[in-house]
Structure 1
Amino acid sequence: MPATTSCPPAPGGVPLLGHAPALLRRPLSFFESSRTADPLVRVGFGPIGLYLANDPALVHRIQVDTDTFERGRFFERLAANFGNPLIASNGPEHQHQRRTLKPAFSRRSVRDHTEVIAEEAERRLGGWRPGAVVAADEEMSDLVTAVVLRCLFTTELPPAVVSDIRTTLYMIARRLLARTVFPDAVTEFPTPGNRRFRASVNRFHTTVDRMVAERRAAPAGDHPDVLDALLATRHPATGAPLTGTEIRSELLMLLFAALETTSTTLSWAVFEATVRPEVQERLRKEADAVLGDGPVGYDRLHDLAYTRRVLHETLRLRSPMLFTRRTRHDVVLAGVEVPAGSEVGYSPRAMHRDPVLYPDPRRFDPDRSAPESGQVVTRGAYFPFGTGPHRCIGEHLAMTVMTVALATLFSRWRLRVAPGTRIREANSSLPHPSSLPLVPTPHD
C-alpha cells in the first residue's frame, strides 16, 4: 500500500480543543466511538495528539515491535509521577528490571503461595453473614490486597499500612487517564482532586521509606521477597544500588498493577455472575465437582475451566481505556506516514468490544472461549495482559488469585444484588463498579 501523508480524524472533534470535549462528555464510550473502518485515525486533546490504532494486526505490532515503538505518553506520565518503574521502562533497562522481579511472579512462586491464597479466600469469604448486605467490591479489594501483599512480602503488613496502600492505588486508578491525555497545566493545577492525589502518593512514599529502613535493619533471611530483590538490585551500567525513589516507584507500580487491576476485574466477575443465575449455578457445580469440601489447590486449578472462562470474558468486557507508545523513527502504519516521536495509542476496551471481532460484543458469554464454540479470535484482538516483551509480569499470580477467589465464593454462596441498587461503571483508566452491594445466601 503506498504511503500517504495524512491520517483521517476520529469523529467528534472540534476546532482548537480537538476531542477533549467528547472525552469529557462521554469518557466510557469515547474510544469505542472512535473505532471506524479506518485502521488508523487521528485524535487530539488540545495540544496533545495521537494516532489511534483500530486494526488488530496493527495493535499487535505496536506491542511487540520494540525496535519501532517505545513506551509512550501513558507510561511517561507514570514515570513523571512515580519515577521509572518496570511498567514504564524501555529496552535493556526494562529487561534488567524484569529479570530482577521475575522470580517473585514465577509459576513456582505462585504454586508455593496457592495455599496462602486459598486460606485468605476461605477466611474472608466464608465468614459472611447470610442475608446481610455485603459491599462485595470492598471485600474483593481487601481479599486481593491481603493475598498479594502476603505473596510479595514475607512479613504481614500492619492494617494501617495496607489501608494507606489501598487508598493510594484507588486514587491513581481514578486519575491516571486524565494525567495521560491532558497537559501538565491541567493535571498539576492545585484543584482539590490534584491535591488529594499528590497527598496520597506522598503518604505512600513515607510508608515505603519506613518499610525499607526496617528491612535494611532486619533482612528477610532465607526467604527473600520483592523488597529484598529491589534492595539487592544494581544498575547494569554503573553497579549502583537503587535509590529510595526508584524503590518506591517499583513498589508503587507493582502493587498498582497487581492489586487495583486484579481486584477490579474480580469485582466485575462477581457482578457478572451474580446477575446471571445460570452462570452462578455452573460455577457452583464446577467448584463442587473439582474441589469437593476442600480448598482450592494449585494442582486443581486447570480443572476449573468454566471459572477461568468467566474471568477471561470479564477481562474482555471490562478492559482499560487506553495505552500508548511512541515511535522511535519514521514509520508507515496502515499506509500513513507517521513521524518519529509521534504518540500511537490503542484502546483494549474498544478492541475487545468491536462487533466485527466479537458477535454481540456487549453480551457476557463465557462460552465464547470454550473449545467447542469454534470461535477463532483474530491475533491482536484479545490481549487482557498485553503481549510481547512488556506482557504483564503478574499475569499468572492475578489469574490464580481470581480463580481461587471465584471458586471459593460461589461454592459457598448464592448471591443477588441488594434491592434498590443500580450498579454502573465509574469512570477510571480501568472502569470499576460504582458499588457492589450483594446479599449472600448459603447453598443448601
Structure 2
Amino acid sequence: MTVPAAPGRWPFLGHTPALLRQRFAFTSSLHEHGEIVKLYLGPAPAYFVTSPRLSHEVLVTAGAKFRKGAMFDKFRPYLGNGLVLSNGDFHRRQRRLVQPAFHHDRLAGYATTMRRAAAELSGSWQPGEVRLIDEDVQGLAVTIVGEALFSTELGKQAIDEARRSIFVVIQQGMIRALSPKFVEKLPIPGNRRFDEAIARMRAIVLEVIRDWRAQGVDHGDLLSTLLLAGMTDEQAQDEVLTLLTGGIETTALALSWTFHELGRHPEVEARVHAEVDEVLGGRPIAFDDIERLGYVRQVVDEVLRRYPIWLLMRRALEDVDLGGVRVAEGSEVIVSPHALHHDPATYADPDRFDPGRWAPERAARLPKGAFVPFGAGTRQCVGNRFAQNEIVITVATVAARWRLVPVPGRPVRVKFTSAAYPDSLPMTAVPR
C-alpha cells in the first residue's frame, strides 16, 4: 500500500504563535488524506494516524510495540525516568507502585482538599470584581496537586516553587520539544528560564524527599506512598515532578476553558446551576456527589474534547503493520488528540460547544480511540480520575455561588504550545 504524503512539509521549524496555530490547523486537516499519512519532521519521516481505529491500535491494542517518541525525549532533563518517559519493565513496575495513590479511598481523601481549596479561592472574590480566571485556576491547580503530594512545612516551599516554575517548564519545554535540537543550545531567554526552572524544581523536590527520609513518617500524602513503596530518592523525584507537571496543566486549562464556555453559553450555565442546586441543596460538594452531577460531567467532557493536548508521539520498537502500511522499527508515529476530537466524521460540527454529545446514549456510540484527552492503554495518565474529580468539584463549588461573566470589549485570544491556552481570561464575578 502506498502511504499518502502530506502536502508540502510539516511547518516544523520555529515556534511563533502564528506558526503554532498553523500546525494545529495542518494536523487537523490530515484526515482528508487517509488514515495514515507520511510527513517529515525536518529531514526525518514520520507517520501520522488520523482515524480513531488506528489511534486505538497504536495506543492500546498494539501499544506494547511502541515506546514514547522523540517529542518526549526533550523533557528528560526535567522528568528523568518518570512515568511519562519510562518504558518497558521499569515503566510497568513504577506504574504499579504509583497506582495505589489513586485508588478510590485515596481519591475520596483528595476530594476534601479539592473542595476546600476551591471554596477558599471562590470565597476570596468580591461581587463585581474582574478576575483573571486563567491565573486563578493555575494557582488552584498548583495548590491541589501540591497539597496532595506534600503535607510537610518543607513541602509548602516546594508548592511555592511550583507556582513560580512549573508553567515555565511546561510551556518552554514544549517549545523546545517541537524545535530542532540546536535551538536548546542557544543563549536565549526562554532557554535560560527553562534550565533555571528545572534546576530549582529538582533541587527543592529532592530536599523534601531527604527531609522525609530523615523523619521516616507516613504523612498520608502522595510522596509517602511513593517512598514507602520502595522507590529510591531519584525515582521518587522523577515521579513527583511527573505528577506535578501532568496534574497541573490539564486541569488548569480545562477549568479556564470551562468557565469561558459557561460564560459564552448562558443556556448551558443555567443547566449547570440548576443541577448543582438540585444535587447539593446548598451544602458543600461531597465525593459521592461527583457521579450525581451528570450534566456537569458532560460539560467537562466537552471541554476536554475541544481543548486537548496537541500531539502524542510513539516510536516503533519493531516493524509494525498499521492499516496495511509497514512502519519500520524506529519510525515515529504521531497521534493528535486535538485532530481526533475535531474530526467531523466522528463529531458533527466539531467546533461547536455541545455538552449534549456526552449524554450516555450518544457517547456510547463513539468508536474506540475517538476520545483520548488523557491518552489510552497502559500509557494513559495515571491521575486521570484525580484530574476529572478536581474539575467537577471546582466547577460545582464555584457555580453554587457565582456566575463568571465575560468582560465586554476584552476578547479572549488563544496562544498555542502543547495545547490551546487562553492568553488572558478576564471575567466578572457576579453573585448568583
Same fold (TM over 0.5): yes
Give the AA of the match of 2:28: E
Q: Name 1:39's counterpart in structure 2.
A: 35
Whether 1:168 and 2:165 are equivalent positions in the alignment is yes
- Kindly tell me the number of residue pairs found equivalent between the two proteins: 427
Q: Name 2:58's counterpart in structure 1.
A: 62
* Alpha carbons 2:150, 2:156 under 8 Å: kept: no
Q: Name 2:116's counterpart in structure 1.
A: 119
Q: Name 1:20's counterpart in structure 2.
A: 12
Aligned partner (choices 54, 64, 71) of residue 68 of structure 2: 71
Per-residue deviation, 1:340 = 0.5
* Alpha carbons 1:27, 1:427 under 8 Å: kept: no
* Alpha carbons 1:19, 1:43 under 8 Å: kept: no
Give the AA of the match of 1:382: F
Q: 1:131 to 1:256 in 2, by over 3 A?
A: same
Q: 1:374 to 1:383 in 2, by over 3 A?
A: closer
Whether 1:181 and 2:178 are equivalent positions in the alignment is yes
Task: Within 5 Å, give how 1:416-427 maps onto structure 2.
Answer: 416-427=405-416
Q: Distance in 2 between matches of 1:45 and 1:371?
A: 39
Per-residue deviation, 1:194 = 1.0
* Alpha carbons 1:78, 1:84 under 8 Å: kept: no
Residues 248-305 of structure 1: per-residue CA shift (max 9 Å, x gap): 3221111110111111111111111111111111111111000011110011111100
Q: Name 1:210's counterpart in structure 2.
A: 207
* Alpha carbons 2:13, 2:180 under 8 Å: kept: no
Task: Within 5 Å, give how 1:227-238 maps onto structure 2.
Answer: 227-234=223-230
Secondary structure of the 1:230 match is helix
Whether 1:51 and 2:40 are equivalent positions in the alignment is no
RMSD value, Cα? 2.0
Secondary structure of the 1:154 match is coil
Q: Distance in 1 between matches of 2:47 and 2:176?
A: 18
Q: Name 2:314's counterpart in structure 1.
A: 325
* Alpha carbons 1:327, 1:344 under 8 Å: kept: yes
Per-residue deviation, 1:22 = 9.1
Whether 1:133 and 2:159 are equivalent positions in the alignment is no
Give the AA of the match of 1:218: Q
Per-residue deviation, 1:157 = 5.8
TM value normalised by structure 2: 0.93
Secondary structure of the 2:127 match is coil
Q: 1:135 to 1:413 in 2, by over 3 A?
A: same
Q: Distance in 1 between matches of 2:154 and 2:308?
A: 30
Structure 2, unmatched stretches of 5+, are none
Q: 1:307 to 1:255 in 2, by over 3 A?
A: same
Q: 1:361 to 1:51 in 2, by over 3 A?
A: same
Q: Distance in 2 between matches of 1:199 and 1:264?
A: 24
| Identity among equivalent pairs (%) | 35
Q: 1:82 to 1:296 in 2, by over 3 A?
A: same
Aligned partner (choices 72, 97, 110) of residue 100 of structure 1: 97
State which drifts further: 131-140 or 67-76. Answer: 67-76
* Alpha carbons 1:11, 1:34 under 8 Å: kept: no
Q: Distance in 1 between matches of 2:423 and 2:154?
A: 28
Residues 67-108 of structure 1: per-residue CA shift (max 9 Å, x gap): 321221133333354311111111211111111111211111
* Alpha carbons 1:75, 1:88 under 8 Å: kept: yes
Q: Distance in 2 between matches of 1:62 and 1:54?
A: 11
* Alpha carbons 2:35, 2:323 under 8 Å: kept: yes
Whether 1:405 and 2:412 are equivalent positions in the alignment is no
Give the AA of the match of 2:269: Q
Secondary structure of the 2:365 match is coil
Q: Distance in 1 between matches of 2:154 and 2:406?
A: 33
Give the AA of the match of 1:28: F
Task: Within 5 Å, give how 1:285-364 maps onto structure 2.
Answer: 285-364=274-353
TM value normalised by structure 1: 0.91
Q: Name 1:238's counterpart in structure 2.
A: none
Whether 1:434 and 2:426 are equivalent positions in the alignment is no
**Segments ≥4 residues shifted beyond 6 Å:** none
Per-residue deviation, 1:128 = 0.7
Q: 1:372 to 1:61 in 2, by over 3 A?
A: closer
Residues 366-408 of structure 1: per-residue CA shift (max 9 Å, x gap): 0111135577211111111221111111011111111010011
Secondary structure of the 1:422 match is coil
State which drifts further: 43-52 or 267-276. Answer: 43-52
Q: Name 2:4's counterpart in structure 1.
A: 8
Task: Within 5 Å, give how 1:355-394 maps onto structure 2.
Answer: 355-371=344-360, 373=362, 376-394=365-383
Structure 1, unmatched stretches of 5+, are 235-240
Give the AA of the match of 2:341: H
Q: 1:82 to 1:21 in 2, by over 3 A?
A: closer
Aligned partner (choices 199, 222, 225) of residue 221 of structure 2: 225
Q: 1:181 to 1:8 in 2, by over 3 A?
A: farther
Q: Distance in 2 between matches of 1:157 and 1:411?
A: 34
